[in-house]
């Protein structure tokens, strides 16, 4: 059966412009002064993308950006605390005036990996803080940046999630972190469904266990964990891969 057009309600689906060249794309990576965010910034810059390296401590952000510029990347440090509405608003205004567009948003900033806690006894304030950064931080940043993508009908939003936020993940540790990533997955699915056909693709990616400050020793190299995230950030428009949960470019269960 063919689709019914409702009068007065224009379809969101339209002919999409060709994908911008990587050198035309502007990416924002949150929590990029170290760990996965830094490596994601490095790989995006190596692909020719202009990277806005978000860091809540400007000196650390500038140091990280300088290192990537020395490697030949076009990388600019920008102050960003995802838990601060003012910080997010100011950055959106700055990107709008200085770049006029945003093509890629990687919601990478994350914290509160509370391995020693249990759901029966975890401090509820800690759960609130985990949700504030891992869920609401990503949500707030996405709401602020989305208009800069919708302006030109192209965008890639990657929510850096975790397998431990999957519905069927076993284990009792990390209750605050786990719930925040499960909620981030839910947000990913909702937003992807809402934006389907708009040119903005929204996906969640688990990097696997990675040897960063959060992951600790024994995890895989950071470059390996970052590569699946960068893949999702650089997805072509066709076929439109949208609303999925991935690890190493393979779909995994929500």
Evaluate whether 201 touches 235 at the Cβ level (below 8 Å): yes
Q: Is 177 an annotated catalytic residue?
A: yes
Cis amide prior to 239 (ω within 30 degrees): yes
Site residues (CB under 6 A) for ligand NAP, limited to 120-149: 133, 137
67 is a contact residue toward ligand NAP (CB under 6 A): no
108 is a contact residue toward ligand NAP (CB under 6 A): yes
Catalytic-role residue among 177, 182, 203, 212: 177
Site residues (CB under 6 A) for ligand NAP, limited to 16-55: 30-31, 33-37
C-alpha to C-alpha distances, 65 to 33, 50, 189, nearest whole angstrom: 8, 11, 32
23: its two tokens? 């050198």
Q: Among 182, 206, 232, 233, which residue sits at the site for ligand NAP (rule: CB under 6 A)?
A: 206
228 is a contact residue toward ligand NAP (CB under 6 A): no
Q: Among 21, 168, 213, 253, which residue sits at the site for ligand NAP (rule: CB under 6 A)?
A: 213
- Beta-sheet pairing, 50-55 with 104-107: unpaired
| Minimum distance of ligand NAP from residue 156's CB (angstroms) | 17
| Minimum distance of ligand NAP from residue 121's CB (angstroms) | 22
- Beta-sheet pairing, 250-251 with 245-247: antiparallel
109 is a contact residue toward ligand NAP (CB under 6 A): yes
- Tell me which residues are annotated as active site: 177
Positions in the binding site for ligand NAP (CB under 6 A): 30-31, 33-37, 56-57, 80-83, 108-111, 133, 137, 160, 162, 206-207, 209-210, 212-215, 219
């Amino acid at each position: 059966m063919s689709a019914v057009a409702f009068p007065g309600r224009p379809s969101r689906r339209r002919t999409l412009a060709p994908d911008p060249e990587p050198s035309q794309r502007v990416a924002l990576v949150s929590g990029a002064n170290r760990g996965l965010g830094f490596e994601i910034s490095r790989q995006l810059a190596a692909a020719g993308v202009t990277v806005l390296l978000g860091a809540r401590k400007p000196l650390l952000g500038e140091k990280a950006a300088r290192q990537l510029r020395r490697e030949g990347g076009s990388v600019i440090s920008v102050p960003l605390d995802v838990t601060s509405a003012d910080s997010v608003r100011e950055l959106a205004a700055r990107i709008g005036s200085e770049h006029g567009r945003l093509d890629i948003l990687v919601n990478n900033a994350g914290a509160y990996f509370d391995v020693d806690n249990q759901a029966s006894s975890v401090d509820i304030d800690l759960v609130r803080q985990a949700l504030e950064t891992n869920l609401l931080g990503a949500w707030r940043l996405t709401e602020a940046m989305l208009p800069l993508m919708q302006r030109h009908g192209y965008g890639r939003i990657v929510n850096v999630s975790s397998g431990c936020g999957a519905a069927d993940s076993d284990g009792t540790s990390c209750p605050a972190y786990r719930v925040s990533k499960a909620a981030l997955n839910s947000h990913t699915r909702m937003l992807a469904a809402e934006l389907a056909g708009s040119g903005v693709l929204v996906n969640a990616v688990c990097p696997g266990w990675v040897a960063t400050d959060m992951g600790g020793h024994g995890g895989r190299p950071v470059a390996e964990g970052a590569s699946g995230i960068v893949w999702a950030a650089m997805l072509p428009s066709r076929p439109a891969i949208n609303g999925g949960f991935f690890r190493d470019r393979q779909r995994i269960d929500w």
